[in-house]
Amino acid sequence: MDDGRAGWPETVFAALKAADVRHMSYVPDAGHAALITRMSADPEIATHVLTTEEEGVAIAAGAWLGGVRSVILMQSSGVGNCVNMLSLPAMTRAPLLMLVTMRGEWAEFNPWQAPMSRATQTVLEAMGVRVLRADAPEDAAEAVAAAATMAYEADGQVAVLFGQRLLGRKTW
């Protein structure tokens, strides 16, 4: 039975296209898989697979200097890898848009995901990143559109956290 969760990546893709995002950096993640596939298939969007999440922050700043709007896709556990690099967009006032799938929340089976999950929003906010959250499919595109405006029109650093309830229960 479809509970509505399956369609949110397509609405987020549409919001990113409407915001003229032309570059995506990402660490492969099951929670972002549909969005990664959709964005990778678009010939107007360049994609870059990261070896570690903090590379995406520097790449997004470089893209902005080249006149291209970029988005970084990562999992909550990757936010901890970005802490020092988040000073780059803060000091240069470069736009930053991060889409973060949450782990360690609702129905999590892997206890190793819980500590960073509890710290993700606090860490981002401590580094000056504005945090929006989407926990239901109907919130996802609206949150991304609002974050894109704050990032690209106001030179802000913004992360949208996609709650684990939105992503659905993970099983192995």
- Enclosing domain of residue 148: 5-167
Summarize pLDDT for 39-81 with one digit per residue, the tens: 999 999 999 999 999 999 999 999 999 999 999 999 999 999 9
Instruction: Give the pLDDT mean for 150-168.
Output: 93
Q: How many domains in the chain? A: 1
Give the pLDDT confidence of 76-97 residue by residue, as tens digits: 999 999 999 999 999 999 999 9
For residue 54, is it within any domain?
A: yes
Residue 73, in any domain of the structure: yes
Residue 100 lies in a domain: yes
47 lies in a domain?
yes
Q: Residue 65 is part of a domain; what is its CATH number?
A: 3.40.50.970
Q: Which residues are paired to 100 by β-bridges?
A: 74, 161
Residue 172 lies in a domain: no
SS3 66: coil
Separation of alpha carbons 158 and 151, rounded Å: 6
